[in-house]
Amino acid sequence: MSLVEEKVKSLIEPVINEFGFRLVRVQFSGGFSGRNDLQVMAEPLKNREMTVNDCQLLSGHISAILDVEDPVSEPYRLEISSPGVDRPLVTLEDYNRFSGELVKIRLYKMLDGRRRFDGRLSGVTKEGKIGLETSFGRFEFDPEIIDNARIDPREIFPIKNKISKQNKEF
């Protein structure tokens, strides 16, 4: 996490929590045409869907905090979003919370000749490693070598299976 992202997170997380949401991720990135984007991803603490109204509510409060505190020195576009069905896994808590789900993990460096792994998440081990059951064996990753991890929505939306099944019927 960059210094800007850490500053923003420390400023907005208490307010997000106060409104009944969990901060998933803060990501600051350079956009096209020299435009910078500050993405704040949040989800309701209660088991319900994130709505456009939720994003508007958080956007107003987060914008006010960022305008006063000014933690980003360059112009940016603020985006408030939900994690979606392919939710990123950011914290160790996320890896335990979504244990049993299909996930896609990309590493910073090669491990056994691969950087990308798909499989069933088995949570965090006692040693603090991320467990993953794949079709070619079990792997445990140090969190520091994970570049990106996301829920794989194929189980939620098995579109390919439906399409191939329909094509066989013709």
C-alpha 97/C-alpha 122 separation (Å) is 10
User: What is the C-alpha separation between 97 and 42, in angstroms, rounded?
Assistant: 16
Q: How many whole angstroms separate alpha carbon 13 and alpha carbon 160? A: 38
| DSSP 3-state of 73 | coil
In sequence order, the 6+-apart residues with CB closer than 8 A to the CB of 87 are 24, 43, 98, 150, 151
Per-residue pLDDT of the chain (170 residues; tens, 9 = 90+): 789 999 999 999 999 999 999 999 999 988 666 789 999 999 999 989 999 999 999 999 999 999 999 999 888 999 999 999 999 999 999 999 999 999 999 999 999 899 999 999 999 999 999 999 999 999 999 999 999 999 999 887 765 555 445 555 54
Q: Residues, the chain, total?
A: 170
Query: Which pLDDT value is given to residue 170?
Result: 47
CATH 2.30.30.100 positions along the chain are 85-170
Q: Phi and psi of 48, rounded to 5°? A: -155, 170
The pTM assigned to this predicted structure is 0.81
- Range(s) for CATH 3.30.300.70 in the chain? 3-81
Q: Give the pLDDT confidence score for residue 35 in this predicted structure.
A: 83
What are the backbone dihedrals phi and psi of residue 45, each rounded to the nearest 5 degrees, phi first?
A: -70, -35
Report the top-level CATH class of 3-81. alpha beta
Cα(28)–Cα(57) distance, integer angstroms: 21
Class of domain 85-170: mainly beta
